[in-house]
Chain A
């Protein structure tokens, strides 16, 4: 069965520090991968998505970046965090080429920038 792992669960980082959040998927090949951010009490905002290794599309200009070094690994990074980067970050995957399937989400990372 397919599983998705996301870590860490919580993170407190000072302003200006770097960030690296990792997401891995097991049990499937060539998934579509996504990073979402959820502000408190709000819906989800798509940040990045990837349809293959090295293929990253950005939805929102910001100081975050994403990389997909391996087929089932998706990394969210920042060189210097801002206070506004605080939020709940969720990784998700979906089946490539299948438009009528739901997403599977990871358990999320609660990031607090202080």
Chain B
């Protein structure tokens, strides 16, 4: 069953703009992770935030976590056409600290 639900399902922006994707989940978590998938390819791990962390940065990525609202957001700053991909949030927890449960993803299109 799906744990995370990303919002929006699709997002189209212009190059240089910021992109924000949101994720909500239902049960307690150990950590929350964001992955990227280019069309027809495998997933690439972007960033992991632990349940006791509130914000994390990696390059142009910024992730926030609000465990009281069971939600997370991924911000990509100064987007590029190469950022076009699907982005998934995934969680571990709820008694299993190594099984990842994925949401359905947000399709991000960055127009040049």
Q: Interface residues, chain A, CB within 8 Å of chain B?
A: 6, 32, 34, 36, 42-44, 46, 49, 51, 88, 90, 92, 94, 99-108, 110
Contact = CB atoms under 8 A, between A and B. Distances in A.
Nearest to B43: A105
Given A101-B48, A104-B45, A42 B104 contact: yes
Contacts, number: 59
Contact of B105 (A43, A46, A99, A100): A43
Contact of A99 (B31, B40, B43): B31
Contacts of B50: 100
A103 B45 contact: yes
Contacts of A46: 99-101
B25 interface: no
Given A99-B92, A107-B41, A107-B42, A43 B102 contact: yes
The 3 tightest CB contacts between A and B, nearest first, are A102-B45, A99-B97, A105-B42
Interface of B: 2, 4, 30-31, 33, 35, 40-45, 48, 50, 88, 90, 92, 97-105
User: In this complex, which of B35, B50, B88, B100 has the most chain A Cβ atoms within 10 angstroms of its Cβ?
Assistant: B100
B97 A43 contact: no
A59 to B, nearest CB: 8
A100 B33 CA distance: 9
29 contacts: A32-B98, A36-B102, A43-B2, A43-B102, A43-B104, A43-B105, A44-B43, A44-B88, A44-B90, A44-B102, A49-B98, A49-B99, A51-B98, A90-B42, A90-B43, A99-B30, A99-B92, A99-B97, A99-B98, A101-B48, A102-B35, A102-B48, A103-B33, A103-B35, A103-B43, A104-B45, A105-B43, A105-B44, A108-B42
